[in-house]
């Protein structure tokens, strides 16, 4: 097996860091939307509920 050069290793670490960051951002958006959807349901705010659930669907597509 060939040794990976430093620039290749750095590129792989950069990609991995980007993947971890993207996942953390997605999870945070998901949690925020979940709380907002729950709140809209509790208030009986149908319009907000519909908008937020559409955003939820986009996040999961």
DSSP assignment letter at 61: -
Summarize pLDDT for 9-47 with one digit per residue, the tens. Answer: 899 999 999 999 999 999 999 999 999 999 999 999 999
**Which pLDDT does position 38 carry in this prediction?**
97
Residues 6+ apart with CB under 8 A from 4: 12
pLDDT beyond 70 at 4 = no
pLDDT at 14: 94
Of residues 30 and 3, which shows the higher confidence score?
Answer: 30
- Under the banding of pLDDT at 50, 70 and 90, the label for residue 2 is low
In 3D space, the residue among 19, 17, 37, 18 whose CA is nearest the CA of residue 29 turns out to be 37
Q: Give every CB contact of residue 15 below 8 A, 6+ residues apart in sequence.
A: none
DSSP SS3 for 3: coil
């Amino acid at each position: 097996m060939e040794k990976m050069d430093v620039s290749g290793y750095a590129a792989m670490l950069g990609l991995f860091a980007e993947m971890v960051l993207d996942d953390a951002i997605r999870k945070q958006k998901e949690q925020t939307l979940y709380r907002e959807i729950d709140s809209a349901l509790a208030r009986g705010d149908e319009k907000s509920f519909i908008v937020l659930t559409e955003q939820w669907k986009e996040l999961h597509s």
